[in-house]
C-alpha cells in the first residue's frame, strides 16, 4: 500500500472514531446524556434514618443534589465496600445539600437487613423487575449494574459513572459534587 493511501485511510479512521453517536449504548442499556432531565422513579425501600417511610420518588429530592447509585446485591464484597464509602462521607454530602440513594433488585427486607448490619443512614430502594435500572441504562437481568448518577437540584444529570470500581468511588463522587457546585455557584 502506498504511503499516501495509508495516510488517507488513517485520517478517515480517526475521523470516524471521533464521531459520537447521539445516544451511546453500554452494557445495561442506553447511557443517559449529561444535561438531560433524568427519568422519574418511585420505589419502595428501607432507611434507618426514616424507618416509617416506605416509598421514595425522584421528586422527594427536588431542590437538592442527588447521588443515585445502582449496585448488584446487598451483602456482597464490592457492594458492601461501596455502601460503606458513601456512609463514611454521608455527613459531607449532606453538608453540600446532597442525598445518597442506592438501588438494586434486592427486596425491601434484604435492604433493611443490609442497612442495619452496615449502619447505613441513607435509603436503599428495591427495583426487583429492573424497571428503574433499565431507564438509567443500569440493568443486566437479574441485577442492577454498578453505575452512579450525580443529579442536580433541578433533576438534570450532571455526571455519570459506569462500571464503577467500589473502592474510593464515594470520594470520587464527593469531589465531583464539590466541583459541580463550585461551577454552578459562579
3-state secondary structure of 90: helix
Those residues with Cβ within 8 angstroms of residue 63's Cβ, 6 or more apart along the chain or in another chain? 153
pLDDT digits 0-9 by tens, 114-147? 999 999 999 999 999 999 999 999 999 999 999 9
pLDDT digits 0-9 by tens, 13-71? 333 334 444 444 455 677 799 999 999 999 999 998 888 899 999 999 999 999 999 99
pLDDT at 102 over 90: yes
Question: Which pairing describes strands 139-140 and 25-26: parallel, antiparallel, or unpaired?
Answer: unpaired
Question: Which pairing describes strands 98-104 and 65-70: parallel, antiparallel, or unpaired?
Answer: parallel
Q: How far apart are alpha carbons 134 and 149 in whole angstroms?
A: 14
Per annotation, catalytic residue among 58, 66, 68, 79: 79
pTM here is: 0.84
DSSP β-bridge partners for residue 65: 98
Domain ranges of the chain: 27-185
Is pLDDT larger for residue 182 or for residue 62?
Answer: 62
What the block records as the C-alpha cell of 43 is 420505589
Residue 128 has a pLDDT of: 97
What CATH class does 27-185 carry? Answer: alpha beta
Distances (CA, A) of 4 to 8, 9, 11: 6, 9, 11
Q: Is 79 one of the catalytic residues?
A: yes
Residue 31 has a pLDDT of: 78
- Listed ranges 7-16, 167-176, 177-186; the one with the highest mean pLDDT: 167-176
Residue 28 has a pLDDT of: 66
Amino acid at each position: 500500500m502506498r504511503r499516501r493511501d495509508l495516510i488517507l485511510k488513517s485520517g478517515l479512521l480517526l475521523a470516524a472514531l471521533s464521531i459520537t453517536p447521539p445516544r451511546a449504548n453500554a452494557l445495561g442499556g442506553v447511557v443517559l446524556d449529561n444535561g438531560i432531565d433524568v427519568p422519574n422513579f418511585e420505589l419502595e425501600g428501607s432507611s434507618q434514618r426514616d424507618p416509617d417511610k416506605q416509598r421514595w420518588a425522584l421528586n422527594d429530592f427536588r431542590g437538592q443534589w442527588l447521588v443515585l447509585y445502582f449496585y448488584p446485591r446487598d451483602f456482597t464484597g464490592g457492594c458492601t465496600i461501596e455502601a460503606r464509602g458513601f456512609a463514611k462521607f454521608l455527613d459531607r454530602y449532606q453538608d453540600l445539600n446532597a442525598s445518597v440513594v442506592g438501588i438494586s433488585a434486592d427486596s425491601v427486607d434484604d435492604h433493611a437487613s443490609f442497612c442495619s448490619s452496615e449502619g447505613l443512614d441513607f435509603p436503599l430502594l428495591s427495583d426487583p423487575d429492573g424497571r428503574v435500572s433499565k431507564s438509567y441504562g443500569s440493568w443486566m437481568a437479574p441485577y442492577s449494574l454498578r453505575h452512579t448518577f450525580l443529579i442536580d437540584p433541578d433533576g438534570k444529570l450532571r455526571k455519570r459513572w459506569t462500571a464503577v470500581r467500589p473502592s474510593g468511588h464515594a470520594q470520587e463522587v464527593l469531589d465531583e459534587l464539590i466541583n459541580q457546585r463550585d461551577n454552578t455557584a459562579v
